[in-house]
Structure 1
Amino acid sequence: MKYMENIVLRGEKISFSYDGVKVLKDCSFSVGNRDFAAVVGSNGAGKSTLLKICLGLLKPDQGNIWLFENSIDKFEEWDKIGYVPQRIMNLNLGFPATVEEVVSAPLHTSKKLKNLTKNEKKNLTDKSLEAVGMSQYRNRLIGRLSAGQQQRIFIAKALVSSPQLLFLDEPTTGIDNKTEEDFYKLIYKLNKDDGITIVMVTHDYTDIKSMVNRVIQISDGGISDKIHKDEDGDKK
């Protein structure tokens, strides 16, 4: 089964349980090409669970996920997908990897990209670091960066394969307000200027309300999938 060309992510009647307790019930939603979608809901509503189902990290009890018109069980073009997981804590100061090594790691494991030349991999790494404003830190141990700087590096890592769809799971956890504001501006630029489709779980929707054009609201296990419109009734 295939869908309209501009739909890059679709969930069909997704249900999921933890230890027999229903977290998601018969949830359907879609995200279009170049959308900025916010996944919102109260703590424990199932936001991160939904994201992991979309990434194939969890298997739903029923229903299916479609990525770029392909059922997730047949999807193979994972280089089109970027993922920034939720921050838990800063990396240890002595973590033995430089910023450049962390960002370039996917280029050495991807079936599609691992055979690139050394110069091609360097160019992709440089481009990703430049996109997040962190080029000057390429030789720094990542554990010696601030929380906000580390999070930018994880975004650069997600961008190095030139994804078309980027998932972020509460990416501003543990960073200060000023850094959070700069971070949101970066994500908005990736969406608006670079055309990357964004699906972001957030605990504070008010901070990004003006940036998103689609809201996936999870409440009592169900989903309300809404398209935001501007005052003229046009999609943002």
Structure 2
Amino acid sequence: MEDIVLRGEKISFSYDGVKVLKDCSFSVRNKDFAAVVGSNGAGKSTLLKICLGLLKPDQGKVWLFERLIDKFQEWDKIGYVPQRILNLNLGFPATVEEVVSSPLYTTKKLKDMSRKNKTDLTDKALRAVGMADYKDRLIGRLSAGQQQRIFIAKALISSPQLLVLDEPTTGIDNETEEDFYNLIYKLNKDDGITIVMVTHDYTDIKSMVNRVIQISDGSISDNIHNYGDGDRK
């Protein structure tokens, strides 16, 4: 039996009495690259937040690594990149190293490790996203695409098995977007990290993903689609 990393069963959710999600069921296997797709306002980000315990559904259940989310505690297994902070203050007084390493000082499992180990983990995460040379730069001085790479490095700091991204290419140009997708594909294909990524249009990543969760009118239609083996064309 294949390992199920994430599973939702009959999830429903409403905002101010308006039903956004209705009886949504889905699953994501270990090492999948899954795209969550749908039009603007379809409920993609809402579904993602429910899966991460940031929102509580009106009904339904979520399992993470085969444990009900209410009993799940191994959050270091999951890296989360929320929608990009647009118009980040250019004078934001934090270096790349400080941003990437911040989970090492707040995560119970990681905060007691030595300073050297923290530095080594930070350097490893920055190398993984091709940003090792930017360690001492101010985060606010980087381009939108560079900032996204830094946020991914931050999510990778705990060596997660599942990386969740919410419309990560919002506000970046087409060339940077292509580089970004190639990075995510590499993390999935070469490093074996399970990817769940919300996007409003999966045309550009169709050849990368092997699973699509499509939301329409509050429901997951056709549940899961498979596109071959997910090899990059």
TM-score, L = length of structure 2: 0.96
Q: Counterpart of 2:64?
A: 67
1:52 partner letter? K
CA distance in 1, matches of 2:88, 2:133: 19
Q: 1:106 aligns with which of 103, 106, 115?
A: 103
CA-based RMSD of the aligned residues comes to: 1.1
Q: Counterpart of 1:131?
A: 128
1:96 partner letter? P
Question: Is residue 38 of structure 2 the alignment partner of residue 41 of structure 1?
Answer: yes
- Assess if the C-alpha contact under 8 Å between 1:126 and 1:135 holds in 2: yes
Q: Counterpart of 1:167?
A: 164
Distance 1:16 1:74, change over 3 A: same
Shift of 1:87: 1.4
* Larger mean Cα displacement after TM superposition, 23-32 or 218-227: 218-227
Question: Is residue 122 of structure 2 the alignment partner of residue 119 of structure 1?
Answer: no
CA distance in 1, matches of 2:85, 2:138: 19
Deviations 1:87-146 (A, max 9, x none): 141321110100000000000000101111111111110000000000000000000000
- Assess if the C-alpha contact under 8 Å between 1:90 and 1:143 holds in 2: no
Shift of 1:229: 3.9
Q: Counterpart of 1:185?
A: 182
CA distance in 1, matches of 2:107, 2:2: 26
Q: Counterpart of 1:25?
A: 22
Question: Is residue 144 of structure 2 the alignment partner of residue 144 of structure 1?
Answer: no
Distance 1:116 1:169, change over 3 A: same
CA distance in 2, matches of 1:194, 1:216: 23
Q: Counterpart of 1:226?
A: 224
Q: State the percentage of identical aligned residues.
A: 83
Question: 4+ runs of 1 displaced by more than 6 Å?
Answer: none
- Assess if the C-alpha contact under 8 Å between 1:45 and 1:219 holds in 2: yes
2:13 partner letter? F
CA distance in 1, matches of 2:132, 2:88: 19
CA distance in 2, matches of 1:185, 1:176: 14
Matched residue SS, 2:71: coil
CA distance in 1, matches of 2:13, 2:173: 33
CA distance in 1, matches of 2:5, 2:201: 25
CA distance in 1, matches of 2:224, 2:73: 29
1:160 partner letter? I
1:226 partner letter? I
- Assess if the C-alpha contact under 8 Å between 1:5 and 1:69 holds in 2: no
Give the length in aligned residue pairs.
230
CA distance in 2, matches of 1:203, 1:163: 25
2:12 partner letter? S
1:173 partner letter? T
Matched residue SS, 2:54: coil
